[in-house]
Amino acid sequence: MKQVCKNVSITPAMDHFIAAQVASGRYQNASEVVRAALRALEREEAVEQERRLRLAAAAAGVER
């Protein structure tokens, strides 16, 4: 997959977290940590969207 290079600003705490994840050996570099975090966010957003849809469907059923 083609990759796009982006520059982002992060807090010192986030930088420390990323460095700790790399130091743990679980990730090879900061980019891998950020990609893993974004994948987790995508999953979380999908779950949240599904929850919203179910709530809307339930609310629509109650309104009938």
pLDDT at residue 62, as a whole number: 79
Q: Which residues, 6 or more positions from 30, have their beta carbon under 8 angstroms from its beta carbon?
A: 18, 19, 22
pLDDT at residue 64, as a whole number: 60
pLDDT at residue 1, as a whole number: 81
Tell me phi and psi for residue 54, to 5 degrees. Answer: -65, -40
Phi-psi region of 47 (alpha: psi -120 to 50; beta: other; left: phi over 0): alpha
**Tokens, residue 24:** 């743990």
Task: Give the pLDDT confidence of 1-58 residue by residue, as tens digits.
Answer: 899 999 999 999 999 999 999 999 999 999 999 999 999 999 999 999 999 999 999 9
pLDDT at residue 17, as a whole number: 99
